[in-house]
Amino acid sequence: EPEVTQTPSHQVTQMGQEVILRCVPISNHLYFYWYRQILGQKVEFLVSFYNNEISEKSEIFDDQFSVERPDGSNFTLKIRSTKLEDSAMYFCASSTSSQETQYFGPGTRLLVL
Amino acid sequence: GESVGLHLPTLSVQEGDNSIINCAYSNSASDYFIWYKQESGKGPQFIIDIRSNMDKRQGQRVTVLLNKTVKHLSLQIAATQPGDSAVYFCAEKGMDSGGGADGLTFGKGTHLIIQP
């Protein structure tokens, strides 16, 4: 069964450093998403991406965040200058259309020290 | 503001019993609702969904009920098994929701514990 994959599973970084989180969406999916989940809290939408551009973004997705689809399979989330409060689980998801089910990857646990 | 929330943070049931997990939503414009299961250290796993033109949908051992009048969603799990132990999230989607037209708005989650 096809699934969304994410790397790395864990990332530890120093405050102020840049991190890139990677995702491989399900191959025939066209919409891609990033969500985050701070420990003990609910999952929060960050951004959606379609046709090589951002489709929607939340208030959380400020100028320190960016997304990219550098090739035909990867979808990345970059955090330019990490802050302590960026520590969270980051989930990638994909769907065939914006109205269909979003399937989630296993997540990357980011810890900013 | 718009939000999706769950009534109970923890639900404990005996193995073999039926479970009912509830969810209230406040955005009347929501038209798509999903239940996800999240096991420790894993991502949300799709269980079942329902659109606003329906009030009931059944899957394998699971049933989702939607009451648009009171903006309430529930997930029924029949004959619970140890593998059902997880956190269950409801999520909603629709125009003008907190997540925009594409993003899902999640509730806080209910931790379902299956007692042997």
User: A interface mutation test: which of B92, B102, B105 has the most A CBs within 10 A?
Assistant: B102
**Within an 8 Å CB–CB cutoff, is residue A45 touching chain B?**
yes
Give the tens place of pLDDT for each residue, A39-60.
888 899 999 999 999 999 999 9
Residue A109 in any domain: the answer is no
Q: What is the CATH number of domain B4-115?
A: 2.60.40.10
| Contact check, Cβ <8 Å, A45/B42 | no
CATH number for the domain that contains residue A43: 2.60.40.10
CA distances for B68 relative to A55, B8, B80, angstroms: 28, 20, 27
Residue A29 in any domain: the answer is yes
Query: Using CB atoms, which residue from B32, B46, B103 is nearest to A56?
Result: B103
Give the tens place of pLDDT for each residue, A76-101.
999 999 999 999 999 999 999 888 89
The span from the CA of A37 to the CA of B70, in Å, is 28
**DSSP secondary structure letters along A39-98:** TTS--EEEEEEETTEEEEE-TT--TTEEEE--SSS-EEEEESS--GGG-EEEEEEEESST
Return the C-alpha torsion angle A98, A101, B51, B25, nearest 10: -90
Planar angle of CA A33, A39, A42, nearest 5 degrees: 55
Tokens 């594409």 belong to which residue?
Answer: B102
CA distances for B28 relative to B35, B80, B102, angstroms: 18, 31, 16
Domain assignment of residue A92, given as a range = 5-11+18-98
| Contact check, Cβ <8 Å, A58/B89 | no
Q: Which residues of B touch A43 (CB under 8 A)?
A: 44, 89, 91, 104, 106
pLDDT of residue A69: 93
The span from the CA of B34 to the CA of B105, in Å, is 10
Return the minimum-mean-pLDDT range out of A3-12, A15-24, B25-34, B89-98. Answer: B89-98
The tens-digit pLDDT sequence of chain B (116 residues) is 334 554 458 999 999 999 999 999 888 888 899 999 999 888 999 999 999 999 999 999 999 999 999 999 999 999 999 999 999 999 998 754 444 568 999 988 899 999 98
CA distances for B105 relative to A14, B83, B102, angstroms: 30, 26, 10
pLDDT of residue A34: 98
Chain A, chain B: beta-carbon pairs less than 8 Å apart = 66
Q: Which residues of A touch B98 (CB under 8 A)?
A: 45, 58
Q: Which residues of B touch A41 (CB under 8 A)?
A: 108
Return the C-alpha torsion angle A33, A37, A41, A45, nearest 10: -20
When the pLDDT of each residue in chain A is averaged and rounded to a whole number, the result is 94
Q: Which amino acid is at B14?
A: Q
The number of domains in chain A is 1
Planar angle of CA B110, B113, B116, nearest 5 degrees: 165
B interface toward A at CB cutoff 8 Å? 32, 34, 36, 41-46, 49, 89, 91, 98-109
Q: Which residues of B touch A32 (CB under 8 A)?
A: none
**Within an 8 Å CB–CB cutoff, is residue A44 touching chain B?**
yes
